Amino acid sequence: MRRPGLLVLLLVVSLVTSGCPIRWQRYTLNHPLEQADVSFIVPGHTTVAEVLGKLGVPDQLEDSDAGPIARYDFMDVKDFKVDLLSWLPFAMPAAGVVPGSFRELEFHGGGAGSDHFRVFFDSHWVAKGYAFEIHSQATEFVLWPF
């Protein structure tokens, strides 16, 4: 009668001491720009030197029929993983299961989204306008991985 209670206690202790089987990570590459960061840009007045002074060097300069375009990129990556078997070696030591002797059973999800900010210039390198390109749904976490 005492043996099943001891087994449950050992299982709970092993789950608590085996570390967290859940990994939730987020990475952001480059500084995401917001409206407040670019409010200094006044179409027809702001020069390329002022844009470079406030925002730094763009990630890419593109040429178009309408004039040059400065593009600033940033990426948002989210990752979620649950390992359902991380507790197994600690719960079944008598069965010869040792850490690292089996594959993981994981549920994994996440996504990556690349967002852009563009400044459009005329032929004299004076800003004509700007635009954000945001892919916020690309990096949303989904509770169920299927």
Contact 52, 68 (CB under 8 A): no
Nearest to 142 by CA among 114, 108, 106, 118: 108
Quickly count: other Cβ atoms within 10 Å of residue 130's Cβ: 20
What percent of the chain has a predicted confidence (pLDDT) above 90? 34
Helix, coil or strand: residue 113: strand
In the predicted model, what is the mean pLDDT of the chain? 76
Highest mean pLDDT among 60-64, 83-87, 140-144: 60-64
**Tens digits of residue pLDDT in 93-129:** 555 555 555 555 666 667 777 888 999 999 999 999 9
Closest CA to 108 of 3, 23, 16: 23
- Cα(6)–Cα(111) distance, integer angstroms: 42
138 pLDDT more than 90: no
What is the spatial distance between Cα 124 and Cα 137, in angstroms, rounded to a whole number? 37
The domain spans of the chain are: 2-139
The pLDDT tens digits of the residues spanning 67-88 come to: 999 999 988 777 777 776 666 6
- For the entire predicted model, the pTM comes to 0.60
Residues 6 or more apart whose Cβ sits within 8 Å of residue 115: 32, 73, 74, 75, 76, 132, 133, 134, 135, 136
